[in-house]
Amino acid sequence: MNASRIFLAGHRGMVGAAIQRRLARENVDVLTAGHETLDLREQADVRAYMERERPDVVVLAAAKVGGILANDSFPADFLGDNLAIELNIIHEAHRAGVERLVFLGSSCIYPKFAAQPIREEALLTGALEPTNEWYAIAKIAGIKLCQAYRRQYGRHYISLMPCNLYGPNDNFDLATSHVLPALIRKFHEAKQDRKSEVVVWGSGTPRREFMHVDDLADATVFLMRHYDEDGPINCGAGFDLSIGELAEKIRRIVEFEGRIVFDATKPDGTPRKLMDSSRIVAQGWKPKIDLDEGIADAYRWFLEHQAEEHSRTRAMRR
């Protein structure tokens, strides 16, 4: 890759960590900075960092993220923190002369009732899904910032819209996580506690598209090399399944033998958000990780990580 220094913002998150693993296979220097040394919400700190480090490329994988209930509970964080992070990084990258930047968004930027599969052109053609509007508005602003700096200053800033992601380093906290890690945890704990049932939120009928985060990391590096256009580019698995089907799949992988019950008092969110990823496929990229294998991988990570957590808390009690 003809870039020697890449600043990866958000390297401790699920997406950032996967991109860091992927970039380790390239001949590049990856610059990272944790919360304790750089608060991305503080413009002055981001400016000082960019001026000092002067990266060749910036990958913006930092964001406040969460599942359907977290979005509803922390609207100020989801809108405010994300807007601040995006504006600070994109503006200060431009100011420091950074030519190339990759911004990571989300399929929730598209209208709630967009025609399926959703093409990039659907952006801003209809109302958003209210349960994740805060996050979606911030991500739309990020896309527009990339377009604005490209149009006004000729910067090569691109934006990539992934579908729902999962994998190592995911958030498994039941109050704030997305559905896939939540169900891994729920089925695992129900199996351990010999429970007879697991509660899945909503009706089970909404459909979602899931991709392993390592595929997304690979797409990020691919687009860094091959894509330089205005407007977002979709990146998904190419198929979706209902939450009920997902629950059944995870139940089988985790080997829980009880029942699945649906809690209709919890929100369903958008009915469907399958993206049309034909643009990235036409460029020569496609995902490689099978959903069943990917879920098994995420479950392994959860088991290992959970073991670490337990030994940490035991050590603290001693």
Shortest spacing between CB 165 and ligand GDP, in angstroms: 10
Q: Which is nearer to ligand GDP, 103 or 201 (CB)?
A: 201
- 291 touches ligand GDP by CB under 6 A: no
- 177 touches ligand GDP by CB under 6 A: yes
Q: Which is nearer to ligand GDP, 40 or 246 (CB)?
A: 246
How many Cβ atoms from other residues are within 10 Å of residue 169's Cβ?
Answer: 17
Among 178, 188, 251, 279, binds ligand GDP (CB under 6 A): 178
- 202 touches ligand GDP by CB under 6 A: yes
- 163 touches ligand GDP by CB under 6 A: no
What residues from 81 to 110 belong to the interface with ligand GDP (CB under 6 A)?
Answer: 108
* Residue of this chain nearest to ligand GDP (CB atom): 67
Instruction: Kindly name the residue from 49, 110, 135, 157 that is annotated as catalytic.
Output: 135
- 267 touches ligand GDP by CB under 6 A: yes
* Choices 2-10, 95-103, 263-271, 289-297 (CB under 6 A): range interacting with ligand GDP: 263-271
Give yes or no: 149 in active site: no
Q: What is the 3-state secondary structure (H, E, C) of 134-176?
A: HHHHHHHHHHHHHHHHHHHHCCEEEEEEECEEECCCCCCCCCC
Q: Which residues bind ligand GDP (CB under 6 A)?
A: 67-68, 108, 132, 164, 177-179, 182, 200-202, 206, 208, 243, 266-269
Active site members: 135
